[in-house]
Structure 1
């Protein structure tokens, strides 16, 4: 894998680091997490940060040439501010322009509602009329349909035939365990660790 200039991999994620050095005023390292583990994305983000670093360095050099006194803390703050702004813009652009980004929050609402209902102790497999009316007041009709589909998926119950076939596969022949209610318990216990 080719080396990415000024980027280092730390704990599987990329970090961009570069030394800010001006005469004898400042000599610090600025570092920013690139917010990715993908080398291709890290390369692009590192390149954009390097360009912005050079632009800010040129601006500060012009300020110093014109006689404007800058302390090391001010120079460091300028670099950090501008580079953080650039990185935030890069990350924002990556997600704002994605075709799915606008729909993510809308898709999460029915899923969250289904989880909320499925967490109840009685684990309903279907929405009651009262729940359906309450959801219809807050969500679109398509979202209510999605909540019902998610709920059916979360609260899936094994049919009696499936219980019998699973017990046959694992070799349970005890007539007492052939009862579907006890077989469900047996299947659940068999899946639990320890």
Structure 2
């Protein structure tokens, strides 16, 4: 069945949060945060990404979904101008996520988040904050990233992202016009890479 990318519907918010939680359950950030029981990790991540999706709506970012028929295969959350102010209810939702994760994991994740925040560019840009897909649906990340780039180009803005997916993903991103900026090494030795993409419209002008 043909894969399509479109704005994520409100009715898909809960299953999008669950998809992202599943996609990131074995991610490098969580590995660096420490050992968290499977069900606690799933609950924590689901609440975290539910908060992220709702904050995205509130701050007028854009959430894209990749779908095959009625099946949601991938989700990307992006913010215009790289900004993501958090409303009070966003912190409340995140606090429930923290309860499941535990204090040690939360403290380590906050430290990582703060370190990555300091690497962000100060000029206006679209921040591709979160991208996740089903395990059995390769190519979805590529499709979502291209759709996000088209949205950023229409806004006349460059793009910024962070990836811990490894060298192969970096090469794919480079084919789409991205360049490496910085590398952040986690306590486990895994590397988070930051990447930048100029807006073709501005470059051409």
Greater helix share, 1 or 2? 1
For CA contacts below 8 A with separation 6 or more, give which structure has more relative contact order: 2
TM-score relative to the length of structure 2: 0.23
Greater strand share, 1 or 2? 2
- Structure with bigger gyration radius: 1
TM-score relative to the length of structure 1: 0.24
